[in-house]
Structure 1
Amino acid sequence: MAVYTEVSDEALVAFLADYAIGGLVAFRGIAEGVENSNYALRTEAGDFILTLYEKRVERGDLPWFLGLMAHLAGHGIPCPLPVHGRDGVALRELCGRPAAITTFLPGVWPRRVDIAHCGPLGAALARLHLAGEDYAPRRANALGPASWAALLARAADDADGVRPGLRAELEGALASILAAWPERLPSGHIHADLFPDNVFFLDRRISGLIDFYFAATDLLAYDLAVCLNAWCFETDYSFNVTKARALLAAYGAVRPLAEAEIAALPVLCQGAALRFALTRLYDWINTPAGALVTRKDPLDYVRRLRFHLAAKDASAYGL
């Protein structure tokens, strides 16, 4: 989450007139994240989230995202529910940007991940994958393997300014990963960005899964790889195999992994680490001055990538 587009009181009041959620009480920008402009919104009917979709999100994809969220919420997944206007339309326009309001979910995301968070995460991810099975529309992963070479090319000339030798390291990793990438694994709808700040806990239970704007139809085990990267490394970049084992065991208790998925974990984790290293590198170089947004260090994910490149098999992840 972030704020790129400022919304005036007058514009927001006019926007809310199209909804049956009462008048404006308060709103404020949310600075975390890097993608869209987000506001915490309070009206006379309660608390909501207002999102203005910025340039990286394709407008044509937004009905898919909002439809998936509504589908998952209807199947018991604790995710935001899009709020429809008086005319039945959820996707509208505000300040020249596509915009939508969703329900607010209580809870806080874990600033320090411990083992007790990892089991609930694994089970919630598996339930999300199963709940999405009968959502018929599909969406290709715009940030999947087919996009990584172009992402690297867009940042390559500036990569060595971030750290000497970074360009060659990323180019070598990309070639290795693409050569080994699995094709015939179980697929379905994935979140693709389930970082700790997108998971809310309340009384040690998951109360919310948010930010579905990278969701896509892709390899289910790739979603696990994203989570292993995001949840199982310590602040010194050592990999916590106990956290990984808890995450994978809880996932497998709900949706058992196929042998081929287990065998592919190292390269899937390499790919997930590379994807976030590349998008963070691009944002590190190109985030506009003055944006109310938290830039994230791409080298964090380069360090994770090195661990996965050294992993010989799934035993590195506790299996």
Structure 2
Amino acid sequence: MAVYTHVPAEEMEALLERYGVGTLVSAKGIAEGVENSNYLVDTTEQRFILTLYEKRVDVADLPFFLALLDHLADKGLPVPRALADRNGTQLQTVAGRPACLIEFLQGVSVSHPTAAQAYATGEALGQMHAALADFDGQRANALGLEGWAALAQRCGADLDAIQPGLQARVQDELRYLADNWPGELPRSVVHADLFPDNVLMLGDKVSGIIDFYFAAQEVRAWDVAVTQAAWCFENDGTGFDADRAAALIAGYDASFGLSAAERAAFPALARGACLRFLLTRAWDWLNTPADALVTRKDPLAFLRRLDFYRDAVPETLGL
């Protein structure tokens, strides 16, 4: 989440009028994340999230995302629906951007997860994968193996401005993954970005799963690897927490489960997860406008994770 586009109060009031959800009391920009512009909106009746979709989100993909949220909510998962206005319209235009008014879910995103919270997250991820078995939406993963290579090329030698030798390190990893990517494993729609700030917790219970805007078809177990890489290190990419990692896998096994082939391939999947976030963070680090209300995230935190997974074996990872 972030704020790139300013929404005048008058325009926000006009939007709320179309929904009949009370009058505007306050609207506060949310600075976390890097993808879209987000506001926490309070009216005289309730609270919402207003999301404006910025340039990285293809407007043509929005029907897929909205259908995905509706499908998961219909299955009883704690995901926020995009609300429809009085005319039944979910997708709006606000400040020249496509936008949605989204349900607000109670809960907080934890910055230092416990093993119990990791277990609950793994369990929720497995429940989500089970619920998606009959979802027929289609979206290719633009940030899969081919996308990583393209993004590395776009970053080019500027990677070495982040850390000397980073460009060569990235190219080495791309070659390894091209030779070892387990593309034959089962595929499904995946969340692809289940960081702690995309999970809402009430104590040790998951109360919300949010930000599905990278969801796409991909090797399903890669979603588990992304989640472990996001949840089981310190924020700077050091300090792998084996208890948290084992708890997350145990939670996933309790609700869905990894096959023997997925467990064997997990280190390579985790390396792919780390490279993906290293590259997108590097691109954002090099290209985020100076005046954007957004927190840039350190790409080297995922280089450190990548170095860890390069030497890891499945048993080390709670498998």
Q: Tell me the equivalent position of 1:66.
A: 66
* Structure 2 unmatched ranges of 5 or more: none
When the two structures are superposed, what TM-score results if normalisation uses the length of structure 1? Answer: 0.97
Deviation at 1:238, TM superposition (A): 2.5
Bigger Cα displacement from structure 2, 77-86 vs 266-275: 77-86
1:6-17 residue pairs with structure 2 within 5 A? 6-17=6-17
Secondary structure of the residue that 1:213 maps to in structure 2?
A: coil
* 1:136 maps to amino acid: D
**Are 1:218 and 2:218 an aligned pair?**
yes
| Aligned-partner residue type, residue 114 of structure 1 | T
Q: 1:68: how far off?
A: 0.4
SS at match of 2:222: helix
Aligned residue pair count:
318
**2:18 partner SS:** coil
- Partner Cα separation in structure 2 for residue 191 and residue 207 of structure 1: 16
Deviation at 1:81, TM superposition (A): 1.1
Q: Distance in 1 between matches of 2:142 and 2:87?
A: 31
- 2:299 is aligned to 298
* Mapped partners of 1:254, 1:13: distance in 2: 43
* AA of the residue aligned to 1:252: D
Answer yes or no: is 1:207 the counterpart of 2:207.
yes
CA distance in 2, matches of 1:108, 1:302: 28
Q: 2:19 is matched with which residue?
A: 19
* Aligned residue number for residue 75 of structure 1: 75
Work out the CA distance in 2 between the residues paired with 1:270 and 1:7: 39
Distance 1:25 1:187 in 2: 44
Q: Name the counterpart of 1:272.
A: 273
Distance 1:169 1:278 in 2: 12
Aligned position for 1:51 = 51
Q: How does 1:237-256 map to 2 (within 5 A)?
A: 237-256=238-257
Q: Which runs of 5+ in 1 are unaligned?
A: none
Name the aligned partner's letter for residue 282 of structure 2. Answer: L
Residue by residue, what CA displacement relative to the aligned partner does 1:270-298 show, whole Å, maximum 9, x if unpaired? 00000000000000000001100000000
Taking the aligned partners of 1:233 and 1:88, their CA distance within structure 2 comes to: 43
Please tell me the root mean square deviation across aligned C-alpha atoms, in Å: 1.1
Deviation (angstroms), 1:256: 2.1
DSSP-derived class of the 2:56 partner: coil
TM (norm. structure 2) is 0.97
Q: Deviation per CA, 1:127-150: give whole Å up to 9, x if none.
A: 011111111111111111120111
SS at match of 1:102: strand
**Which residue is equivalent to 2:139?**
139
What is the alpha-carbon distance in structure 2 between the residues aligned to residue 191 and residue 205 of structure 1? 19
* Partner Cα separation in structure 2 for residue 105 and residue 156 of structure 1: 40
How do residues 67-216 of structure 1 correspond to structure 2 at under 5 angstroms?
Answer: 67-216=67-216
Q: Deviations along 1:72-107, whole A, 9 cap, x unmatched?
A: 011111011110011111011111110001100011
Identity %: 50
| SS of equivalent residue, structure 1 residue 281 | helix
> Which amino acid in the other structure matches residue 220 of structure 1?
R
The aligned residue for residue 307 of structure 1 is 308
> Which is worse superposed, 140-149 or 236-245?
236-245
Q: Partners in 1 of 2:184 and 2:114 — Cα distance? A: 33
Whole-angstrom CA distance in 1 between matches of 2:203 and 2:274? 30
Provide the rounded CA distance (Å) in 2 between the counterparts of 1:259 and 1:299: 31
